[in-house]
Amino acid sequence: MKPQPMKTFDNSRLAALLALTTVPTALGIDGLLPAMPAMTVAFGTDQASAQLTLSMFMIGVAVGQLVHGPISDRFGRKPAILGGLFVAMLATVGCALSPSVEALVGFRFLHGIAASTGWLVCRAVVRDRHERADAARVLSVLMVFHSMAPLIGPILGSHLTVAYGWNAMYWFLSCYSAVVLFVFGAVFHETIGEKVLDALRPGPLLRNFAEVSGNVPFWAYTACAAASYGILFSFLGSSSHVIISYFGESETRYGYMFAGCMIGNLSGMLLGARLVGRYGVDALLRWGVSGVTACGLVMAVLAWSAVNHWLAVIGPMFFCMIAFALIFPQAIAGALQPFPHIAGAASSLIGFVQQLVGALTGIVVAALSDGTQTTIANGVLFWALFGLATYWFAVRRYRTV
């Protein structure tokens, strides 16, 4: 028997619990950024190799998106999340003990596959329970809780790096995964109404992905979500090297600067959760893509004018993250809306595209970087314009919410 939709906000407790499982992904990125320059020195490598540890994590997350959705459709949301937390716990131990940057890259790939479970299955859990604006509202609340990780993570990571070295954050992540594994196993109740027994068989699996990938509105909304990730990873890919190595700021100061940007993200999530019921998903998505474009233009003009100060990067990015938070939940809700029966598969494909865009953007930004903030600004502006064009020429035509 299919569970009945929950009423409003015992949803806050559900969102908080789900957010705990998404933290390994957030800390696996944001919490480790302050350690990137120190890791480069420790292994005697260069920025591109250090960036590869982040990009391989993201590629692992992308690959994991294609695996965990069908697993959660077949066996349930709870077993999928518990399995991901267990493997993430082991992978981060491997990262902490890595004797070389090559070994670290390999363990980061495994870490990414495991860590991807949280966000992927959480989206499916929300879709199990809610539709349209309700789904976007719960996703926004989930993101509010989730936003605590990138807010606290860089500060925690910077202090752990300064005190104990580049691998201290990996030890923290391993302990965190173990604790959440226990808590989630004890508290969470399964939400899937009916398990899809053939979800992992090649034929049905391919048919599910074909059904999702043949839906034009799905791609319109997914392109907007992917653009938001392109914006984010244009910043993540080189910001620590630019702020610490080029502008000469310390790891701890960078951690607080990054946390300031995440306050913008948190503010945007709170704003979105409050306004989506009044103005609707489409309006918030429109405001979001317009906002990131304006911020991208400001950042680019400052970079092109050689305003070489950390505030020329962090200031526009703060407001960009507010707009980012208006895009992400609305785009996900719109993309998942047509697929209540295969939400896991649909969520997998969204996540794969997003993470792949993020990983490739990080690689390109690092490869093209001249050490200044110009490449970051160019990347943010490119993806902002892409998202704006996608909304006006695709989403408006194929609206689902």
**Whole-number pLDDT of residue 44:** 87
Q: Does any domain span residue 246?
A: yes
In the predicted model, is pLDDT for residue 67 greater than 90?
no
How many residues are recorded in the chain? 401
Q: Does any domain span residue 194?
A: no
Range 55-68 average pLDDT: 85
* Rounded alpha-carbon distances, angstroms, from residue 201 to 107, 196, 317: 28, 10, 44
Q: Does any domain span residue 401?
A: no
**Whole-number pLDDT of residue 327:** 93
| Helix and strand counts by DSSP (H, E) for the chain | 15, 0
Q: Does any domain span residue 40?
A: yes
Range 303-327 average pLDDT: 94
299: pLDDT confidence band, cut at 50, 70 and 90? Answer: very high
Q: Does any domain span residue 1?
A: no
Give the chain's mean pLDDT.
Answer: 86
Q: Does any domain span residue 366?
A: yes
**Whole-number pLDDT of residue 200:** 75
**Whole-number pLDDT of residue 235:** 92
Does 106 or 198 have the greater pLDDT score? 106
Number of structural domains in the chain: 1
**Whole-number pLDDT of residue 133:** 67
Place of tokens 């409003």: 8
**Whole-number pLDDT of residue 125:** 83
**Whole-number pLDDT of residue 131:** 67
Does 293 or 191 have the greater pLDDT score? 293
Q: Does any domain span residue 3?
A: no
Range 54-77 average pLDDT: 84
CA dihedral 333, 327, 113, 15 (to 10 degrees): -60
In the predicted model, is pLDDT for residue 358 greater than 70?
yes
Range 199-211 average pLDDT: 81
Place of tokens 């950024």: 33
In the predicted model, is pLDDT for residue 338 greater than 90?
no
Q: Does any domain span residue 400?
A: no
Range 222-232 average pLDDT: 94
* HEC per residue, 202-250: HHHHHHHHHHHHCCHHHHHHHHHHHHHHHHHHHHHHHHHHHHHHHCCCC
pLDDT in tens, 112-169: 999 888 877 887 787 777 766 677 677 777 777 777 777 788 899 999 999 999 999 9
Q: Are the C-beta atoms of residues 51 and 366 closer than 8 Å to each other? A: yes
In the predicted model, is pLDDT for residue 7 greater than 70?
no
Place of tokens 């490598």: 45
CA 292 to centroid of chain Cα atoms: 17
Q: What percent of the chain has pLDDT over 70?
A: 95
339: domain CATH number is 1.20.1250.20
The domain of 372 spans: 8-188+200-395
Least-confidence region, from 1-10, 340-349, 381-390? 1-10
* Rounded alpha-carbon distances, angstroms, from residue 363 to 67, 85, 201, 352: 24, 27, 34, 17
Task: Specify the 3-state DSSP secondary structure of 98.
Answer: coil
Range 248-265 average pLDDT: 88
Q: Are the C-beta atoms of residues 394 and 334 closer than 8 Å to each other? A: no
